[in-house]
Structure 1
Amino acid sequence: MKVAIIGLGYRLGYLGHVFNEMDPDFEIVGYFDPDPAGMSVLDEHGISPGVQHGSPEDLVKAGGYDLLMIGSPNHLHLDHIRLGLEAGNKIFSEKPIVSTIEQTYALAELMAKHGTERLLVGLVLRYAPLYRDLIKARDDGLLGKIVSVEAAEHIYPYHGAFFMRDWRRYEKWSGSFMLEKCCHDLDLYNGLIGARPERVASFGGRKTFVPENDPRSEGVNDMSLFHRKPSGWNGSDKVFDSDGDIIDYQVAIIEYANGVGMNFHTNLNAPDQFRRFAVFGTKGQAEGDFIRAGFKVTDVLSEATTIDKTYEATALSQHYGADETMAAEVVAHVMKAGPLPVSPLDALEAGILALSMDDARRSRKVIDMRPIWDRYDEALTVKGAVA
């Protein structure tokens, strides 16, 4: 498979390596990025980035690829997706595919015009073996009707410091931390629950990465922990005095249209990080942790453990065995029209939830999401939509 890249950051540099491992015919024919942070990853693995182009338009006009891959900062995704769709390309966009509610409506209108089949999205956790086992347990009836979900994603302090230093520290570029980082998780639970969220409340802010917590104020001069993960475009060295506007902790409660309730918690300063869920159904309980690599299902009536499974880490994947599976299935989809487990509409709906959480956090109000869904649905059926 031949690809062209707009936005050769660390993520697409890494995915270039993964795709290259999964597809012997993989080739990058060209890229556009004025400051390609991911070039070092390609160089490390001996992968050519192809021809450097002076603009996204020049890259697309040159053609010669099967898939246009977009890894630019989030606020630019919409323009780059539009460019590819209007050129008739098949596109892979990193998540989140847009960064605001207004961009969501605009992309929905593009989906109405061009269809959804040519836009793929990098919500990689949909490909994780653990998530697929959770969905199978649901579909096999082991959980009964889902009643409530408890979920969390917490990250190491060095990773949290990365967000305080990277371009993602500004909501004008990232959308928000909840959108940028946690849209993966929100998508998973939207898919599990099988309904749209209708009401959301949320609280959070920044309490860890603030000047009063700078270790140097207590005589700790070794700050290497907080610089372990390099930043890319428009990065900064500031951690506890970051000029960004993202949060470093947030909690939310959500009510879905089918009555399921969920709470979600994220924190950027977890020295023993985890990414886990507990799903409570009328017939069973499911617990899992992507980082600690375990999955368990317990039957209500017998109290017996019906599934107890652990997962082996892979050297290639950064996402619990999901990256290489995603690469293989994306190649199969592009070259042979194979199925995929996630759509751009799933990505848009996860983004709507994340952005609504932030609206609730800022306003300190319960947000009724139904007006958003009404406008979103209207955008998906604009005049001229494809069948």
Structure 2
Amino acid sequence: MKVGIVGLGYRLGYLARIFQASLPDFQVVGYVDPEPAGLSYTKQFDVPVGNAYETLTELLENEALDLLMVGSPNHLHLGHIRIGLDHGVKVFSEKPVVTTVEETMQLARLIGQYGSDNVMVGLVLRYAPLYVDLRKAQADGLLGDIVSIEASEHIAPYHGAFFMRDWRRYEKYSGSFMLEKCCHDLDLYNGVIGARPARVASFGGRKSFIPQNAPEGLGINDVEVYHRKPSGWMGTDKVFDSDADIIDFQTAIVEYANGVSMTFHTNLNVPDEFRRFCVIGAKGMAEGDFVRNFFKVHDARTSAKLIDTTYSGSELSVHYGADEQMARDIGEHMVHGAPLPVSVVNALEAGLLAITMDEARRTKSVVDMADIWKRFDTALADGGS
């Protein structure tokens, strides 16, 4: 499998290693990136990345690719995906796929034109053993009809500081923190609920990473915390006085078309981090945590504990063992046409929910998503006509 990369940052450098370890015939033959932050990583782990090209068109015209992997900053994804599709190449895009409602509609038209199977997405948590077990418990009838969900994604201060220092601190590049980081989680719970979001309210802002909270006399321990994770393109050393325009905490309330409700909370300054959910159904309750590695199911009538699982994780994967499974599944999809657990349409639906959460936060209103879904479905249909 001959692969090209556009945007060789830390994530794609890491994924090149994962894919090479998981797929014997995986070979990166070229890349495009004026500042390839992930190149040092690929060199450290002896992952060949082929020739450097100045433009994506040059790469595609000089290499016979089976797959183009898009890891460029989010605001560039749409253009790179379009070029890949126009050259007849299957595309894997990191999340979030696009950053705005209008870009979503443009990509929907491209999907209608080229087919959703030609665009794969890096919503890696769909492959996590914990999520697989949650969906199995649901399919086995242990939960019954889903009624409500409480969920969160909380990251440690070193990781929050990274967002204040990296290019992702600007919404014009990332879309927003909710979109860039939490689209994983929103996609998971969209899948469990099995319906589209209908109405959204949200509240949040920045209260932790602000000047008055900066440690006095920044010591070596503070440097190790707030600069532990290296930033790439557009990086800065500033954390508490960063020029970031993203939030560092946000809470959202969502009502789905089938009446299910969800609360979702994110915070960038949680020292004992967790990423958990509680899915409550008419017949049972499932709770789990991707960071603390547990999954439990209780029966609603008897309170009996039906499932109690802990996970060992993976020494290689940063996503609880899901990265390797994603690589293997994409390989099977590429070679044998095997189905994938998440589609680009799923990804765009999660993205529209994240974008709407930010609209609700900014406007201090409850946003009805009916018109957005009409536009989205029309764009998908228009592309296929």
Supply the distance in 2 between the matched residues of 1:373 and 1:177 (Cα, whole angstroms). Answer: 22
Q: Report the secondary structure of 2:103's partner residue.
A: helix
Residue of structure 1 equivalent to 2:168 = 168
1:138-149 matches, within 5 Å, as 138-149=138-149
Q: Which AA in structure 2 matches 1:301?
A: R
Supply the distance in 2 between the matched residues of 1:324 and 1:221 (Cα, whole angstroms). Answer: 38
Supply the distance in 2 between the matched residues of 1:309 and 1:152 (Cα, whole angstroms). Answer: 20
Q: Report the secondary structure of 1:264's partner residue.
A: strand
Supply the distance in 2 between the matched residues of 1:112 and 1:25 (Cα, whole angstroms). Answer: 31
CA positional deviation for 1:285 = 0.4
CA positional deviation for 1:307 = 0.5
State the number of aligned residues: 383
**How far does the alpha carbon of each residue in 1:183-208 deviate from its partner, in whole angstroms, 9 at most, with x for none?**
00000000010000000000000000
**How far does the alpha carbon of each residue in 1:67-104 deviate from its partner, in whole angstroms, 9 at most, with x for none?**
10000000000000000111111010000000111100
Runs of 4+ in 1 over 6 A off after TM superposition: none
CA positional deviation for 1:220 = 4.3
RMSD of aligned residue pairs (Cα, Å):
0.8
Residue of structure 2 equivalent to 1:39 = 39
CA positional deviation for 1:342 = 0.3
Q: Which AA in structure 2 matches 1:385?
A: G
Residue of structure 2 equivalent to 1:385 = 384
CA positional deviation for 1:331 = 1.1
CA positional deviation for 1:293 = 0.4
Supply the distance in 1 between the matched residues of 2:107 and 2:63 (Cα, whole angstroms). Answer: 23
Supply the distance in 1 between the matched residues of 2:326 and 2:112 (Cα, whole angstroms). Answer: 26
Return the match for 2:219 from 210, 218, 221: 221
Q: Which AA in structure 2 matches 1:197?
A: P
Supply the distance in 2 between the matched residues of 1:29 and 1:36 (Cα, whole angstroms). Answer: 15
CA positional deviation for 1:221 = 2.7
Q: Which AA in structure 2 matches 1:115?
A: G
Q: Which AA in structure 2 matches 1:19?
A: F
1:95-114 matches, within 5 Å, as 95-114=95-114
Q: Which AA in structure 1 matches 2:29?
A: V
Residue of structure 2 equivalent to 1:158 = 158
Q: Report the secondary structure of 2:43's partner residue.
A: helix
**How far does the alpha carbon of each residue in 1:129-179 deviate from its partner, in whole angstroms, 9 at most, with x for none?**
000000011111000000000000000000000000000000000000000
Q: Which AA in structure 2 matches 1:150?
A: E
**How far does the alpha carbon of each residue in 1:108-134 deviate from its partner, in whole angstroms, 9 at most, with x for none?**
111111111100000000000000000
The answer (yes or no) to whether the contact 1:157–1:268 under 8 Å persists in 2 is yes
Q: Report the secondary structure of 2:116's partner residue.
A: coil
TM-score by length of 1: 0.98
Supply the distance in 2 between the matched residues of 1:306 and 1:317 (Cα, whole angstroms). Answer: 28
Supply the distance in 2 between the matched residues of 1:29 and 1:347 (Cα, whole angstroms). Answer: 27
Q: Report the secondary structure of 2:254's partner residue.
A: strand
1:62-73 matches, within 5 Å, as 62-73=62-73
Gaps of 5+ in 1: none
The answer (yes or no) to whether the contact 1:29–1:64 under 8 Å persists in 2 is no
Q: Report the secondary structure of 1:243's partner residue.
A: coil
Residue of structure 1 equivalent to 2:231 = 231
Residue of structure 2 equivalent to 1:315 = 315
Supply the distance in 2 between the matched residues of 1:161 and 1:60 (Cα, whole angstroms). Answer: 36
Gaps of 5+ in 2: none
Supply the distance in 2 between the matched residues of 1:63 and 1:114 (Cα, whole angstroms). Answer: 21
Confirm or deny that 1:358 pairs with 2:358.
yes
1:243-322 matches, within 5 Å, as 243-322=243-322
TM-score by length of 2: 0.98
